[in-house]
Structure 1
Amino acid sequence: MLAEEFGYQVSSQLARDMTPELASKVDEAIEQLDSAHRKLAKVGENACWVFGIVCVITAAAVGDLGATLLIFLVGIAVGFFFRWAATAGVLDNRGSFVQARTVALAGRWQAWPCRTGGHVSHDGSVRVLRLLDPHGATAVTFQAHVPDEAWMGMIDGRGLVWFAGDIRYGGYMALPGGSPLWWVLPYHLPAEPPAAESETMRLVEEELARQAVGFIFDRWTS
């Protein structure tokens, strides 16, 4: 485990035992993706038939039966392609959730210094989160919808976080204490981001690393 290699503390109890709502959060996230997939699939299916019927009407106006049948079949095929394209992204995200689900629920909380910054989405709702090594360099990069409570709980976008999951697939993060909880997925940056820009921020990140090394999880279970 990378956190242990850095000397960061890992909880003695499983994350799901320390934070019972973790399991329900994971299942809730998967159900939301399933619901989104069902809705998109239904919309895509309806679009298939509408597109096919429009093609038939257009071809029938020409008066060629063979062309009518051909255009109908092509229309249905194109409609199903768009249906697949609309739902593929949701299925990929669901796969990531399911892949990390077992690890997140069977794993333990890890204490990490974290730096947030930058946005993945155009609307600014998805942020980049960087878990730091003891020297302030980026060890792991995630993307996530970070709750306002978590964002406001950090100092200039820096703070100590808990992570449960697999750094390859993602998992769950939380502020110390296990709340709020939010899901994170891997994010691959094109280049290594710089370390702390100022001496003050460097000292803040060094202090966070010391806290991660000396963190006492048991005080949250007593």
Structure 2
Amino acid sequence: ARALAEAGRPLGRAAVIGEPTGLKPIRLHKGVMMERIDILGQSGHSSDPSLGHSALEAMQDVMGELRGLRAQWQREFNNPQFGVPQPTLNLGCIHGGDNPNRICGQCALEFDLRPLPGMDPEQLRAAIRGKLQPLALKHQVRIDYGPLFPAVPPFEQAADAELVRLAERLTGHAAQAVGFGTEAPYLQQLGCETLVLGPGDIDCAHQPGEHLELARIEPTVQLLRQLIQHYCLSRSEDVLRR
């Protein structure tokens, strides 16, 4: 979907992303940014701190700045439509050092950032970079920062969009918001009204027992048939009035 968006090739009027939503329409989701910070210091024997520059101590300050940015963003951005209404930032894993009696020469941190619709991933990265350079000078270390993969942007489809209203009528559920990311923003960039709607439950995704109940297949097929009927075989205004 990202490649299609970059190529700018139109697909159609509407797009449905079949991620597991329990057949409830989703018109908003958070973005997904998974990032990495590497610090290169100078190792040395711990008996003489002047022999090195601790990457681990520098990373401690980096994590403090990230937590400060998280608090700032959570004050500035809030969307009550989400179960967790603020953006989140999780310090997921850290690796550094090799021995208690050695000054830590290298340290790496990987973290996950989930921005709300209206938050620009590149602006968030710029804010993070702005905090890192002063710390590199303070600790006399090298700090490298970049994404583990390109960010998935936040997504929002207008509540009054034709596709949203149709899906709400066909499913009997009001459109909702979720915290996970999908390909929806890329298809939206191509001019499609876009919605996330599919069988299954996200709670069992990426789990050892991940599955889709067979009983959910037929309702999904019927829903897709109704959507195809609306967009491909009927006048849109007639179907919406039924």
TM exceeds 0.5?
no
Higher RCO (CA-CA < 8 Å; seq separation 6+): 2
